[in-house]
Homo-oligomer: A and B are copies of this chain.
Amino acid sequence: MPHALHLIARPLGEPKDSDFELRELAQTDLAEGEIRVAVRYVSVDPAMRIWMTEQKSYWPPVGLGEVMRAGGIGEIVESKHPKLPVGTWVGGMTGVTEEFVTNGKGLRPFDARALPDPTWALHVFGATGFTAYFGLHEIGHPKPGETLVVSAAAGAVGSTVVQLGKAAGCRVIGIAGGAEKCAYVKDLGADAVIDYKNEKVGKALSEACPDGIDVYFDNVGGEILDAVLKRLRLRARIVLCGGISQYNATGLPQGPANYLSLISARARMEGFVVIDYLHRGEEAIAAMAPLVAQGKLKGKVDVIDGLSQFPEALRRLLAGKNFGKQVVQM
């Protein structure tokens, strides 16, 4: 029997295995117009840590007892839907489950054979890539010759931003943790890389960005955000994509003490959520596909096997131990 993973407790700090429960799915027959989707991969994203709290966010919290929310991709294995035949790949909010029944609403079919690998529909050509593309262009407004700094630069979103920033003509400085990740970011084309685990980020930023920072794509918050705030150029833009360094915090998050630099730099800090741009996904794909074809935009996936490994995959992600887009294969 297939299983689903339910959230049964709100984690305090790092999510634990016991915050979840594996439950057998009830057997259901399809009604007219319904399909059964076998989920192949689910995406593991920092924002999940927020969905698990009671915090008001762009989506309501996942209710206790509910299947854990997740974006995913899968194949239709049974169909009573006139337009969605068996064998079709679909993507959407599948949840952390091996299988589900739906009328197809909110799912988008895609041609898996047109992708290097179906997981690309979860990273470069999915929500991850859209986050990077729309966050950078719609909020960051990078101009050729400007200096772009990206945190979590070896991560799924960050590594895409690094490459899109180069494609936009920016000088790109990536910040990542550890020699292996830093080498990867350099390979992706970053002009300079800062290893936040082994360097003083402030000093390294001053050296890498002697004239200051025009655009900062922030995935982490915390001390790195503060170090960037001290080094803004006039009219700089900070793209607030996430604050992963604060997501496991049990108290109040660490606010950016240097935020008043936004005044003297006449700078802005702006948040965005990718779901506002999903309807423009084709636009991002059209812009990114040629870069992929030219080898200028690479994707990397970090696969963990098995539904029951989801909590561990999430912990890895929140601790920065993953390398590439973190997914769980069902």
Q: Which A residues form the contact surface with B (CB < 8 A)?
A: 56-58, 221, 226, 240-243, 246, 252-273, 276
Q: Taking CB as reference atom, which chain B residue is nearest A256? A: B255
Minimum C-beta distance from A131 to chain B (A) = 11
A264 touches B271 (CB 8 A): yes
By a CB distance below 8 angstroms, the chain B residues around A226 are 255
A272 touches B266 (CB 8 A): yes
By a CB distance below 8 angstroms, the chain B residues around A267 are 270-271
Q: Taking CB as reference atom, which chain B residue is nearest A241? A: B263
A266 touches B259 (CB 8 A): no
B266 touches A268 (CB 8 A): no
A sample of 5 cross-chain residue pairs with beta-carbon separation below 8 angstroms, ordered by A number, consists of: A242-B263, A243-B263, A261-B271, A262-B271, A266-B273
By a CB distance below 8 angstroms, the chain B residues around A254 are 255, 257
Minimum C-beta distance from A328 to chain B (A) = 24
By a CB distance below 8 angstroms, the chain B residues around A269 are 259, 262, 268-270
Minimum C-beta distance from A234 to chain B (A) = 9
Assembled-state Cα–Cα distance A198/B255 (Å): 25
Contact of A221 among B221, B240, B241, B260 (CB under 8 A): B260
Q: Taking CB as reference atom, which chain B residue is nearest A242? A: B263
